[in-house]
């Protein structure tokens, strides 16, 4: 640990500069992370903050399968984990749980979109156009999830040491 001399002005200045160099990146990244939420809360008030929470949860539920499926596949793969591979009971339970979470999230996304479409004041033509685009995007999304599930991974990354 760096302990400056308090009698020398230059050493104390160097300590402050070092402390600033360590703190500033963390401070900047946290400010960047919180700025959008702060702006929405200031402009929209509590209703804007609650809408932001709903939008954020929708985005996170959209991304969840892309983190969950590789994790379940990785932990159950003998080519990746070697002898540390999870037991068959845990693998089956993980796939069932993951499948349930993915189905619930896809249902949530579809019902939230349908609720927005039903209660929107858009013209019929705009609703049909948006519906076609969202249907195509959901097809790509579900296709991507199926690709992740059924993709064969033959690269062996576990290296036996010893």
pLDDT on residue 8: 54
Average pLDDT in the 3-11 region?
55
Q: Which of 9-13, 36-40, 105-109, 133-137 has the highest mean pLDDT?
A: 133-137
Position 133 pLDDT exceeds 90: yes
pLDDT on residue 132: 92
Q: What is the C-alpha separation between 79 and 52, in angstroms, rounded?
A: 41
Q: What is the C-alpha separation between 48 and 41, in angstroms, rounded?
A: 6
- pLDDT tens, residue by residue, 80-125: 888 888 889 999 999 999 899 888 888 888 888 888 888 888 888 9
Contact between 68 and 101 (Cβ < 8 Å): yes
């Amino acid at each position: 640990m760096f302990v400056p001399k308090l009698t020398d002005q230059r050493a104390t200045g160097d300590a402050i500069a070092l402390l600033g160099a360590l703190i500033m990146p963390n401070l900047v990244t946290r400010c960047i992370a919180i700025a959008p939420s702060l702006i929405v809360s200031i402009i929209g008030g509590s209703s804007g903050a609650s809408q932001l929470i709903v939008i954020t949860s929708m985005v996170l539920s959209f991304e969840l399968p892309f983190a969950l499926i590789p994790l379940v596949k990785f932990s159950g793969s003998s080519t990746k984990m070697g002898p540390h591979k999870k037991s068959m009971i845990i693998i089956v339970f993980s796939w069932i749980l993951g499948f349930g979470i993915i189905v619930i999230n896809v249902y949530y996304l579809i019902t939230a979109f349908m609720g927005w479409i039903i209660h929107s004041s858009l013209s019929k033509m705009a609703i049909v156009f948006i519906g076609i685009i969202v249907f195509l995007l959901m097809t790509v999304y579900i296709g991507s999830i199926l690709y992740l599930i059924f993709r064969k991974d033959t690269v062996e990354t576990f290296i036996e040491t010893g």
